Structure 1
Amino acid sequence: MGKKTLAELRVEIDALDKKVQSLIGERAQLASDVAEVKKAADDNSVFYRPEREAQVLRSIIERNDNLLKDKDMAHIFREIMSACLALEQPLNIAYLGPEGTFTQEAALKHFGHAVSTLDCGSIDEIFHQVEKGNAHYGVVPIENSSNGVIGGTVDMLYSQDLKICGEVEISIQHQLMSADQSVEIKTIYAHQQALDQCQRWLANHYPNAQLKAVASNALAARLVKDEVGAAAIASEAALGLYDLERVAKNIEDKTGNTTRFLILGKESIEPSGDDKTSILVVTKHESGALFDLLEPFKEQGINMMQLARHPIPGVKWEYLFLIDIEGHQEDDKVKVALAEIEKRVLKVDVLGSYPVAVL
């Protein structure tokens, strides 16, 4: 039997597309049925379940055995799940704006494109919008692989009562863009962190350009749209969003630059099978305090994934520690360790247990 013709292959693809579309429709109906069951049982039901979504995405990756890469298959299902969840409960997600920031990219990567997004001008505002109920969840940067922990986020975690419901990582690749790449660049706008991450490249290629720090890279892109001789460092998304021309691609000094973002909400998350717990600890101001803090984790065989020191807001020479550990706060070993730590420190605040990022 000879090879199929292009026309024959297209007929088969069309037939498969119809089946796939029908199956997605059946899934959407089931999602709608789930919503009705939840509403009948409890008017205050939580429709978005991060632990359930993480389990589904892990299963999709584990059973994937076709030509598509694991992550690509998972991203397809991420969007299907997002659209189905919108039938149950349309979500509004607060992010650090304006449109085109890496934080918005993180929000859409985690929740899918069927959500609505709320543009916030600061990390503080994201917390407040979620607290007031104007957004179901918020997305904030917590650490960058090159620049470390984001102090403003740690300050808000310390002073506010929101819980961490999830995490997502974004690969940071900076693009240099302008309204007209044929014009000499005299001024470059970007967030200070982006300027730092591209410092060597900028010194080598634009040593005489004036560098101006602004609130976000997306704002930088918006500013240069109408300014002759100006360029911005921003994301690939901002390039198209603000109709700019690319001057140079991937200008960050270090490859593999990644920013981790937290998902903030009001509810606690059930175990998913592969979880992380974040805590804030204020130690006693005495010799051996840090050892006393860390010892219970070692005794229980708990892996510590992050330990970051940060000044306590408004208190001179006093520090708190942001700690990420493997496991859920409901796990027996984690319970024992946290109970012991509480006896040894001035304050311990469990910020939340949540699934380790799948995508």
Structure 2
Amino acid sequence: MAQEKLNHLRTRIDAIDDQILDLLNQRAAVVIEVGRAKSGEQREFYVPARELAIYERLGARNTGPFPTEAIRRVFREIISASLSLEHPMKVAFLGPQGTFTHAAAMQQFGFSAQLVPQKSIPAVFDEVLRGRAPYGVVPVENSTEGVVSHTLDMFMESDLQISSEILLGISHFLLSRTGRMEDIRKVVSHPQPLAQCRKWLEENLPDVPLVDVGSTALAAQMVLEDESAAAIASEMAASLYGLQVVKERIEDNPNNFTRFLVIGQKSPERSDRDKTSLMFSIKDQPGILYRMLEPFSKRAINLTKIESRPMKKKAWEYVFFLDIEGHIDEKAVADAIAELKDYCQFLKVLGSYPRAR
């Protein structure tokens, strides 16, 4: 009797799966029509605000028992496959495979996108600038260790725009060939993960030397050749490179996030939840820092980040990076930036784009 009921339930599941498949193909046919309409009007194929709206609408509509947190993952792949029908999506990212930037790119663009690893942040910018990839993904800041200076420096030289941002929860895994703590004679990783795991390393491997390398994935590759070494990398790197997990989640701060930027030739259209990033250099005069922020304060525009970097060509002069809420197409934002420009030696808007949820 139990087997008969089980067979009946499996038959129902098969019938529902057939309906899902039919609906996916119907959706794909509509997507192809959307692609043709966009092509005629020369619109962007990748519209991050539209994707976010889909996730939020479906999440709000969900009544269960299918978990709401899984809806984004499922529809991320549906949208990724649909975009590949409209237009092959090629995305450059800071590689090699298995880096956190790789994970961020997959989170944003899905498995159907063609993800192309690059050896450096400048190489990602160059790939997009030359049109070999319409988009690139680069890290910009970590909630524990701060900004990624190479990314900010590239915006000083490049005219590329920010298309969207990605927030990725970061968990660090200690990986080796043997999986045994007692075999470890050195630990290799990118400087940021080493810094984010500093306390754990001091307490558990106090006498083991730490070696900086270009990426967490490169560290994982190096450990493949050295049984006495361990890498701090992602769980995905363990799977990709066939390494054993010595210890999982060794980051000092469990609330550890990295923010990544998607860069492209232009910023997307206005949505209902935007952020604008800009960079500028100010004229040195009394009270200038106050006047720099006043245009935003008097218009009640919220500043979400301010960062400074030294100018490479002029000693003791700085470039400021500012993130504000709102889109450049909004009058208050445009007016505030225009007023700020009067105090600047130069000013560049890096893009207006949907804020990550």
In which range does the TM-score fall when normalised by the shorter chain?
Answer: over 0.9
2:303 partner letter: M
Structure 1 window deviating more from structure 2 (4-13 vs 283-292): it is 4-13
**Structure 1 residues 69 and 297: alpha-carbon distance in aligned structure 2, compared to 1, 3 A threshold:** farther
Alignment of 1:1-359 (within 5 A): 5-39=5-39, 41-42=40-41, 44-182=42-180, 184-358=183-357
CA-to-aligned-CA distance 1:205-263 (integer Å, 9 cap, x gap): 11121211100011000000121211110000000100000000101111111000000
CA–CA separation in structure 1 for the residues paired with 2:247 and 2:206: 15
CA–CA separation in structure 2 for the residues paired with 1:229 and 1:74: 40
Query: Contact conserved, 2:45 with 2:86, CA < 8 A, in 1?
Result: yes
CA–CA separation in structure 2 for the residues paired with 1:256 and 1:212: 25
Structure 2 residue matching 1:281: 3-state secondary structure: strand
List runs of 5+ in structure 2 lacking aligned partners.
none
Query: Contact conserved, 1:303 with 1:325, CA < 8 A, in 2?
Result: yes
Structure 2 residue matching 1:78: 3-state secondary structure: helix
**Structure 1 residues 298 and 45: alpha-carbon distance in aligned structure 2, compared to 1, 3 A threshold:** closer
Structure 1 residue matching 2:97: 3-state secondary structure: coil
CA–CA separation in structure 2 for the residues paired with 1:19 and 1:157: 48
CA–CA separation in structure 1 for the residues paired with 2:225 and 2:147: 34
Q: CA deviation at 1:50?
A: 2.0
Q: CA deviation at 1:45?
A: 4.1
Query: Contact conserved, 1:176 with 1:247, CA < 8 A, in 2?
Result: yes
Cα root mean square deviation, aligned: 1.5
CA–CA separation in structure 1 for the residues paired with 2:147 and 2:74: 31
Residue correspondences, number = 354
Q: CA deviation at 1:333?
A: 1.2
Q: CA deviation at 1:95?
A: 0.5
CA–CA separation in structure 2 for the residues paired with 1:120 and 1:206: 32
CA–CA separation in structure 1 for the residues paired with 2:352 and 2:124: 20
CA–CA separation in structure 2 for the residues paired with 1:263 and 1:249: 29
Relative to the length of structure 1, the TM-score reads 0.95
Q: CA deviation at 1:344?
A: 2.1
Q: CA deviation at 1:62?
A: 2.5
Identity %: 40
CA–CA separation in structure 1 for the residues paired with 2:196 and 2:231: 14
Query: Contact conserved, 1:155 with 1:313, CA < 8 A, in 2?
Result: no
CA–CA separation in structure 2 for the residues paired with 1:98 and 1:305: 31
List runs of 5+ in structure 1 lacking aligned partners.
none
Q: CA deviation at 1:181?
A: 2.1
CA–CA separation in structure 2 for the residues paired with 1:315 and 1:71: 49
CA-to-aligned-CA distance 1:162-183 (integer Å, 9 cap, x gap): 0000000111110001011246
CA–CA separation in structure 2 for the residues paired with 1:121 and 1:54: 30
Query: Contact conserved, 1:222 with 1:242, CA < 8 A, in 2?
Result: yes
Structure 2 residue matching 1:255: 3-state secondary structure: coil
1:353 partner letter: S
CA–CA separation in structure 1 for the residues paired with 2:58 and 2:31: 18
CA–CA separation in structure 2 for the residues paired with 1:94 and 1:239: 22
Q: CA deviation at 1:63?
A: 2.0
